[in-house]
Amino acid sequence: MVARHLEARGITDSDVLNAMGKVPREAFVSEPLSEFAYEDSALPIEAGQTISQPYIVARMVELAEVKPGDKVLEVGAGSGYAAAVVSRIAANVYAIERHEELATQARAREEKLGYDNVEIICADGTKGLPQHAPFDAIIVSAGGPKVPEALKRQLAVGGRLVVPVGRGTHQTLMLVRRIGAEAFEEEDHGAVTFVPLIGEEGWDAPEGAETQVDAATSGFANGLLIPSQRAKTLRAKTVRTNLSHMIAGAAEPFGDLDELASLAERFADRRVVLLGEATHGTAQFYDARARITEMLVQKHGFNIVAVEADWPDASVGDAFVRGLPRPEVPKDPFSRFPTWMWRNGQVAAFLTHLKAINENIGDPDRRAGFYGLDVYSLGASIEAVLLYLDRVDPEVARVARQRYGCLAPWRAEPARYGHMALSRGYALCEKPVTDALFELLRHRLGYLAHDGDAFFDAEQNARIVAAAEQYYRIMYYGAAQSWNLRDQHMFDTLERVLAHRGPGSKAVVWAHNSHIGDAEFTEMGQVRGELNIGQLARARFGDEAALIGFGTDRGTVAAASNWDEPMEIKRVRPARDDSYEGHSRDAGIDAFFLETGPGQKTSVRDALAEPLLERAIGVIYRPETERLSHYFQAELSRQFDAWIWFTETEAVAARSVAHPHGPDETYPFGL
């Protein structure tokens, strides 16, 4: 959290960074929300209030210039988290909370953690604590109509007051510095949105539901800071109707998938067309991608369909569509969690159609293949490499068995290997699996003479084993590292398949929007340091790559509630008003194609570049925490070249089946 959400966003005060690293944020939220404790999100707490996002806590403490030895007042203690952070720097902290329930809980938390230099008081925070004044710093975690005069007067000369001023989405973070007995300086530090400051020098009372900000349902939860250069986000929220009208004017409606395919045909001249999905379990997304892909294969010579699936599993589908012998491995493809992602009626129909298209292509080398890009098939890939070597070079196969034997104890549950490597502090199997790949490549020319396609398959499986060993080893070090390794592997696989299929090869890629849309223009890249296939494709292919995203407002989806649990048909909540999905819904068109790239008018592209929320549902869907777990910020016209919209959608045709435990993917939401 400290590195990704604080240092990466410009927090530099070492005292603040150290304090944020010491205080366990999970101790200040309810147990069901503990898994989100170190995300940069505000979280709901009791009394309809919130715990501020980590960045805003760090930012306000840094602005207040809290130093060792200081006496600090906090107004709006809430859960007690910010007071706890300040207490790890200052000598004494007094925190005021107007809700007795919250004050009592905060006291108990501070006591349990042994933070004995914090005093929680239930009172009107706008009056301050004159009996304990003067204060070196005062931090106010709620927005008032003006800077409270009582708090200014309780600053020591040289003291600093940080307070949001304004209401709703029109608040400014102010820094007030007392420079003399009657002299104060004020600085504006950008737009923010906090819950209202209630009290004698604050607002009279909440004005209904809109002022009771709940982090689970509000776009701008308590403590969400929008720096000055990002203040345009607030402007986008106030012109929602205008943006919806603009979308309606620029969108191209379609009545069926043939019409959609015709609209998407404008990208047929590209080398790579990447087709996303907003969920992993929506029938319309699969059917739309299928129809567009069939058009590209049948009319424009695309010969690669590369999907977010495991290579050995996809090879069974590849053999089916190209009329090749069925691979020996795996015996039962797409059997690990989540089975419904590829074992569903939509994919079955697509593969049948692709097979029929291929049968009308006379040259076998021009037929479209079906390839998996993912990194999870450790056990199946080892087995595939050994079966290949047994046929072409038994002696090398014997050595490979010894090398891969290192991973034998963890083949069923490879995540355990990563935990072992972390706890023992070294990569036990890195060198053996890398040596196995190098040995295979060393014999490349000889093996190619036997069967080029078979060698390519074996080489790719050997690369997967090496990548999987690294993936499971680093997955415990942080989401960005494992995510980046996985997406880099998927992109590298795409490039190898393009090279293998020869000059003039062209590919369609199927993956989640979070992999397809350019991460540089989303919270993923800007805050979390993650890259993805779409970003890499643009860097490599430039204008020869088309990135197409998908969205929906409501309906049903196939998803699980927790990792490795059965599939359920879940109802998708209507999209938030302050999201791209909300604006797309409000355009009032059931289904449309919206070009967002260079082919679109500049005014539309600029409007769609305003940072807004975007929804992402993976193999896990938790409607009860949707704002926290399934929305991220994005700039749509920079993220995608086109946006395909279905207002109402339904789940894929699949059923829940028993399956062996699968390795944890992008836990917990499986994107």
Q: Which residues are known catalytic residues?
A: 52
CA distance 599 to 15: 49
- β-pairing, 272-275 vs 507-510, is parallel
* Residue 570: DSSP 8-state: E
Give the whole-angstrom CA distance, residue 70 versus residue 13.
15
How far apart, in whole angstroms, are the C-alpha atoms of residue 204 and residue 447? 80
Q: Is 417 exposed, middle or buried (0-12, 13-18, 19+ CB in 10 A)?
A: buried
Torsion of CA 442, 447, 451, 456, to 10 degrees: -20
Residue 178 burial (CB < 10 Å; 0-12/13-18/19+)?
buried
Could you write out the DSSP letters of every residue in 575-624?
PPTTBHHHHHHHTT-SEEEEE-STTS-HHHHHHTTS-EEEE---SB--GG
Give the Cα separation of 135 and 153 in Å (integer). Answer: 10
User: Is the peptide bond preceding residue 164 cis, with omega within 30 degrees of 0?
Assistant: no
Q: Which residue is listed with tokens 């973070």?
A: 173
Q: Is the dihedral of CA 428, 429, 430, 434 positive or negative?
A: positive
Distance between CA atoms of residues 258 and 471, nearest Å: 40
Cα–Cα distance measured from residue 123 to residue 347, given in angstroms and rounded to the nearest whole number: 61
Identify the H or E element spanning 212: none
61-91 burial, b at 16+ Cβ within 10 Å, e below that, comes to bbbbbbeeebbbbbbbbbbbbbbbbbbbbbe
